[in-house]
Structure 1
Amino acid sequence: MTFTPAPWPRKLRSHEWYGGDSRDHIYHRSWMKNQGLPEDLFDGRPVIGICNTWSELTPCNAHLRDLAQRVKHGIYEVGGLPVEFPVFSTGESSLRPTAMMYRNLASMDVEEALRANPLDGVVLMVGCDKTTPALLMGAASVDIPAIVVTGGPMLNGWFRGERVGSGTALWQMSEDIKAGKMTREDFLEAEQAMSRSPGSCNTMGTASTMASMAEALGMALSGNAAIPAVDSRRRVMAQLTGRRIVQMVKDDLKPSDILTREAFENAIRTNGAIGGSTNAVIHLLALAGRIGVDLTLDDWDRLGRDVPTIVNLMPSGKYLMEEFFYAGGLPVVIKRLGEAGLLHKDALTVSGETAWDQVKNARNWNEDVIRPADKALTQQGGIAVLKGNLAPKGAVLKPSAASPHLMQHRGRAVVFEDIDDYKAKINDEALDIDETCVMVLKNCGPKGYPGMAEVGNMGLPPKVLRKGITDMVRISDARMSGTAYGTVILHTSPEAAIGGPLAIVQTGDMIDIDVPNRKLHLDLPDEEIARRIDAWRSPVEPAMGGYAQLFQTHVQGAETGADFDFLRGGRGKDVPRDSH
């Protein structure tokens, strides 16, 4: 057969592999045909990758093979050739030491798969927390047309007539066990109610937050974020996404066209309105670094500070993602932002429409789930960025999940040198601690853990819990799960493992927290701080070889997204040289 390309407005990237009659073109096509692909599928139509994080080790994503088939239907329907391929899947519930350690690895897997293969566009199949930012980061680095479809949240959990939020209920019940409010038998019975369908967390945890961020950024079709995993409309969304990516290739609509400064500002304000996870801070900073947008922690504080949290979902509120979908989902929230003058309405999205055009006709079907601004959970949502001599480069706190009476607090530090020290001491009745103290956890940042695990929401001491106390101020260089809650100060930078001021805090030091004025202060003379830092030596053992050593060597601080230094900045979609 003589190769005759189908009529397209420009030469496609895949034509470098399949678009001719040379020995190399025949080599590439003939091997693909051993899968039973008809000859006319290589007539010059666009080749669309389906980048799938399906894995049975990642329960949130274990249903993505079915959704990928729906994406394929959509691609075939409008004249594309779909090819599905696996990439590293960062499963939050199983990976040790933490899934965050492997986000950058997964992004590298995605980037190199896209760069090295004959792909004109890609559908990113995501769900569990780190899979969404990882795939977006990898796609941004290559900058071929890309679109996200998420697996969706699981159905509501129910236990004895009460909603059970995945993660959130686990933290609550675990504390109730230590306080003597719940028996272990009841805890084990409740386990059966926590995860009753396929899908990711049903709270506004990191998975649902990042699905919302993908939609708010314009990288997913409108309405994608909240559809439950088992709802038939999730399959429809997948099929429509397959159709849409082919047109995006025709229009050469790339991540760099969508992931603009305005798009990130829309996402930050959306995060404030939904009461989104603090993990979104790190992931959006990293994504911005990949695409070349100058985004900082100060932008997070400035843009989100006056955004009311209007989505009444756990861990900040009452409901779960199922109710959020029934109420109208994220389009209602984005419409509210637009009406309040808090949306860049002209920001372009993967649909080809603007952010405003997609949502201007959205309706709210439940005003207790998506509340009016005057009935918001908190009038100042977003993410608070605290700075001071304890966090010169910043630390973050989620006001909607914190206790109002602790927003300004002075307390005596009780220090845990690392997570093992915390576990060894926290249940000891002899531990000198009460509810006025400030719990400080060190050496759990990007280099320290390594990987920056979700251990920042330290459980309280049993003797404090038995008093009926449910919250204390906690400070660390770690992260916390998006499903968690409390007055928890996270991502303290520079981290302890590289000699940040957190490293020299000692039990008995006084710490001042002033969230309204964004201050985090260690009450010591500058001379004493300098003396301690000069005497400090890192207790963290360097990793010996493998990916762990690569990670520790090249990971940057939380304040810039904890990405690798050599991955920042887009490198484009150049076609690699043929080896044949």
Structure 2
Amino acid sequence: MLKKPEDLRSARWFAPDDLRSMGHRSRAMQMGWSEEDWQGKPVIAIINTWSDLSPCHHHLRDRADWVKRGILQAGGTPAELPVHDFAEQFLKPTSMLYRNLGAMEVEETLRSHPVDGVVLMGGCDKSTPALVMGAISMGLPFIFLPAGAMIRGNYAGQKLGSGTDVWKYWDERRAGNITRAEWEGVQGGIARSYGTCMTMGTASTMMSIAEAFGVTLPGASSIPAPDAAHKRMAAACGRRIIDMVWEDLTPDKIITPQSTRNAVTVAMATGCSTNAIIHLIAMARRAGIPLGLDDIDAIGRTIPVIANIRPSGTDYLMEDFYYAGGLPALMQELGDKLDLSVMTVSGQTLGESLAGARNYNADVIRPLTDPVYTEGSLAVLRGNLAPDGAVIKPAAMDAKFLTHKGPAIVADSYGELKEIIDDEDFPMTPDSVLVLRNAGPKGGPGMPEWGMIPMPKALLKQGHRDMVRLSDARMSGTSFGACILHVAPEAFIGGPLALLRTGDIIELHVPNRSLNMRVSDEELSQRRADWVAPPPKYGRGYGWMFAQHIEQADKGCDFDFLGTEFGAPVPEPEIN
């Protein structure tokens, strides 16, 4: 049943013939609005993450105008509301520290304003989960508008992938194989337009996951940011959200256990970022869906990587993926591995929205019979080093490290780690396991992307380009290598990683999903008794609140008080 104009949420602000609503109407008129803007029309929030310090979102100021055009075309009234910008490149110590802050801001911005639906504009790594988490918790009809990836990088005739080639060329610079001028050439050619990383890093991963959840228009996540189709998609989001408001198509009808399984399945098939696990869990839990690490790992064992995109793939980038048919083509290749009956924001089922999707390049989007990697992108490890889990990306590492045993070299801070990796004569072998701890959710703070530990100079000069590295940190989705991440519980709160010592033997067995240190229970008990908790990182403000309420990586790093199980939903505000 379609909603009636008098049932619009915004009508509670504008419709009554009383003193308070007169105040709302007069102040709207102060901004140039008139009765035609609020009477019987949905008011649509445009949540914009644009800022002058957000290169990935630098075009979203323009795209907001295209969204407004669509809203006006469909008979609604747009209201642009800026929020936190999530600039991955500039936020210190890490943008992950602010994901939950952004989610809270989105939820409360929507709750406190006279809006009936919302178009969410984002794409840089933490913006997608933050926007979606906040909108799920609020419960208004919403569409997510993906910022889109930038165009391919280029230097000296070579195709460059953001992030991925930075790490590769940095190793070669440190090994003395390229000059400073060549390094600066890469610097100037690797980011050639606005938009997110054009590898299958966290940004492209999360935009693809949003589409797989059903909260973007079909094909929206694959459109390159500078492409004219991106403007048309933005306007289409504006038109479609009006219909969603009248249809009362709320998030609970779209984000379900079935669509969540689809999102995990698509993530694995794309060669997704390791960050996807944390965000998938957090997004699902906001919808009351108890997604866990073991659920994700079980799906990963049955879904091969079929997107041949760096860093898991070999040569292609997101622009190539778009020309090959984009995410709809990949989902067509997955076939019955997806639940095609789920509803999407388009008003169609997933199956209906995929009608006509085609794969135009079977090397970019591989068939299931010829995958890039035979299992999913990620694997979850457990053992006495990570009783609550750790994550590794076997699709993007040297296969010889899938089973490995070697002595630990332990650093308690990033500064200490840097001394190790910059020392050309540091005693280590290719079998060594380089460990960074106290870099988790509380220890970082915010779980920074320090987990793609640079290769030590001592091994680079011997010609080695991969080794086993282990931490309670995260790594960029554009990264690669035998990096074990998200070790939980983290060392800062006394997880087993805090008890590891240099020289202890670490055993990794990816096929068996195991991660252990060869230290006796008796020895570990003694070390536990000797362990002293480090001092808190923050004494006030948001950082203090973060440290008090952040959950561990296996729970999605959300705040404990924002879960659906924490308490009753916040009531709608009194109108004043």
Compute the TM-score of the two structures, normalised by the length of structure 1.
0.97
Deviation per residue, 1:402-448 (Å, 9 max, x gap):
21110000011111112111012221133221211111110000000
Question: SS where residue 536 of structure 2 aligns?
Answer: coil
For residues 60 and 424 of structure 2, what CA distance do their matches in structure 1 show? Answer: 47
Residue 81 of structure 2 is matched in structure 1 by: 85
For residues 34 and 239 of structure 1, what CA distance do their matches in structure 2 show? Answer: 27
1:110 counterpart (92, 101, 106): 106
1:293, distance to aligned residue in structure 2 (A): 0.6
Say if 1:143 and 1:573, in contact at 8 Å, map to a contact too. no
Say if 2:506 and 2:515, in contact at 8 Å, map to a contact too. yes
Determine if the alignment matches structure 1 residue 195 to structure 2 residue 191: yes
Task: Provide the aligned C-alpha RMSD in A.
Answer: 1.4
Say if 1:554 and 1:566, in contact at 8 Å, map to a contact too. yes
2:18 counterpart (1, 9, 22): 22
Q: How does 1:471-510 map to 2 (within 5 A)?
A: 471-510=466-505
1:337 counterpart (334, 338, 342): 334
Say if 2:451 and 2:471, in contact at 8 Å, map to a contact too. yes
Residue 409 of structure 1 is matched in structure 2 by: 404
Deviation per residue, 1:494-526 (Å, 9 max, x gap):
000000001111110001000000000111111
Say if 1:448 and 1:540, in contact at 8 Å, map to a contact too. no
Kindly tell me: are residues 573 and 330 of structure 1, through their superposed partners in 2, closer, same or farther at Cα, counting changes over 3 Å? farther
Kindly tell me: are residues 10 and 269 of structure 1, through their superposed partners in 2, closer, same or farther at Cα, counting changes over 3 Å? farther
Q: How does 1:29-178 map to 2 (within 5 A)?
A: 29-178=25-174
Say if 1:443 and 1:540, in contact at 8 Å, map to a contact too. no
Say if 1:97 and 1:450, in contact at 8 Å, map to a contact too. yes
Counterpart residue type for residue 277 of structure 2: V
Name the stretch that deviates more: 501-510 or 303-312. Answer: 303-312
Kindly tell me: are residues 262 and 78 of structure 1, through their superposed partners in 2, closer, same or farther at Cα, counting changes over 3 Å? same
Name the stretch that deviates more: 349-358 or 514-523. Answer: 349-358
Say if 1:305 and 1:382, in contact at 8 Å, map to a contact too. no
Determine if the alignment matches structure 1 residue 294 to structure 2 residue 290: yes
For residues 97 and 482 of structure 1, what CA distance do their matches in structure 2 show? Answer: 17
Count of residue pairs the alignment pairs up: 572
Kindly tell me: are residues 264 and 423 of structure 1, through their superposed partners in 2, closer, same or farther at Cα, counting changes over 3 Å? same
1:290, distance to aligned residue in structure 2 (A): 1.2
Question: SS where residue 406 of structure 2 aligns?
Answer: strand
Say if 1:144 and 1:573, in contact at 8 Å, map to a contact too. no
1:171, distance to aligned residue in structure 2 (A): 0.7
Say if 1:145 and 1:245, in contact at 8 Å, map to a contact too. yes
Say if 1:115 and 1:574, in contact at 8 Å, map to a contact too. no
For residues 542 and 175 of structure 1, what CA distance do their matches in structure 2 show? Answer: 32
Determine if the alignment matches structure 1 residue 374 to structure 2 residue 369: yes
Deviation per residue, 1:175-234 (Å, 9 max, x gap):
111111111221011111011111110100111111001000001011011111110000
Alignment gaps of 5+ in structure 1: 1-5
1:538, distance to aligned residue in structure 2 (A): 2.2
Determine if the alignment matches structure 1 residue 270 to structure 2 residue 266: yes
Residue 3 of structure 1 is matched in structure 2 by: none
1:396, distance to aligned residue in structure 2 (A): 0.6
Say if 2:120 and 2:144, in contact at 8 Å, map to a contact too. yes
Say if 1:497 and 1:540, in contact at 8 Å, map to a contact too. no
Say if 1:268 and 1:382, in contact at 8 Å, map to a contact too. no
Kindly tell me: are residues 429 and 7 of structure 1, through their superposed partners in 2, closer, same or farther at Cα, counting changes over 3 Å? closer
Counterpart residue type for residue 370 of structure 1: I
Counterpart residue type for residue 334 of structure 1: M
Question: SS where residue 520 of structure 1 aligns?
Answer: strand
Say if 2:213 and 2:263, in contact at 8 Å, map to a contact too. yes
Q: Percent identity?
A: 47
Residue 238 of structure 1 is matched in structure 2 by: 234
Q: How does 1:427-446 map to 2 (within 5 A)?
A: 427-446=422-441
1:573, distance to aligned residue in structure 2 (A): 7.5
For residues 65 and 180 of structure 2, what CA distance do their matches in structure 1 show? Answer: 42
Say if 2:426 and 2:458, in contact at 8 Å, map to a contact too. no
Question: SS where residue 521 of structure 1 aligns?
Answer: strand
Residue 310 of structure 2 is matched in structure 1 by: 314
Say if 1:77 and 1:243, in contact at 8 Å, map to a contact too. yes
1:513 counterpart (489, 508, 514): 508
For residues 434 and 185 of structure 1, what CA distance do their matches in structure 2 show? Answer: 31
1:7, distance to aligned residue in structure 2 (A): 8.4
1:10, distance to aligned residue in structure 2 (A): 6.0
1:58, distance to aligned residue in structure 2 (A): 1.1
Compute the TM-score of the two structures, normalised by the length of structure 2.
0.97
For residues 190 and 295 of structure 1, what CA distance do their matches in structure 2 show? Answer: 40
Say if 2:5 and 2:41, in contact at 8 Å, map to a contact too. no
Say if 1:13 and 1:575, in contact at 8 Å, map to a contact too. no
Deviation per residue, 1:321-350 (Å, 9 max, x gap):
100000000001111112xx2111111111
For residues 5 and 59 of structure 2, what CA distance do their matches in structure 1 show? Answer: 36
Counterpart residue type for residue 335 of structure 1: Q
1:8, distance to aligned residue in structure 2 (A): 2.2
Deviation per residue, 1:31-74 (Å, 9 max, x gap):
01122123211212111100000111111011101111111111
Residue 381 of structure 2 is matched in structure 1 by: 386
1:277, distance to aligned residue in structure 2 (A): 0.5
Determine if the alignment matches structure 1 residue 549 to structure 2 residue 544: yes
1:459, distance to aligned residue in structure 2 (A): 0.4
1:359, distance to aligned residue in structure 2 (A): 1.2
Kindly tell me: are residues 273 and 507 of structure 1, through their superposed partners in 2, closer, same or farther at Cα, counting changes over 3 Å? same
Determine if the alignment matches structure 1 residue 564 to structure 2 residue 559: yes
Counterpart residue type for residue 459 of structure 2: V
1:575, distance to aligned residue in structure 2 (A): 2.4
Counterpart residue type for residue 259 of structure 1: I
Residue 320 of structure 2 is matched in structure 1 by: 323
Runs of 4+ displaced beyond 3 Å = 570-574
Kindly tell me: are residues 573 and 62 of structure 1, through their superposed partners in 2, closer, same or farther at Cα, counting changes over 3 Å? farther
Say if 1:396 and 1:490, in contact at 8 Å, map to a contact too. yes
1:112, distance to aligned residue in structure 2 (A): 0.6
1:21, distance to aligned residue in structure 2 (A): 1.6
Question: SS where residue 473 of structure 2 aligns?
Answer: coil
Say if 1:444 and 1:477, in contact at 8 Å, map to a contact too. yes
For residues 250 and 240 of structure 2, what CA distance do their matches in structure 1 show? Answer: 13
For residues 543 and 329 of structure 2, what CA distance do their matches in structure 1 show? Answer: 42
Say if 2:14 and 2:24, in contact at 8 Å, map to a contact too. yes
For residues 122 and 555 of structure 2, what CA distance do their matches in structure 1 show? Answer: 23
Question: SS where residue 470 of structure 1 aligns?
Answer: coil
Kindly tell me: are residues 133 and 11 of structure 1, through their superposed partners in 2, closer, same or farther at Cα, counting changes over 3 Å? same
Determine if the alignment matches structure 1 residue 259 to structure 2 residue 258: no
For residues 163 and 511 of structure 2, what CA distance do their matches in structure 1 show? Answer: 28
For residues 37 and 541 of structure 1, what CA distance do their matches in structure 2 show? Answer: 50
Determine if the alignment matches structure 1 residue 457 to structure 2 residue 456: no
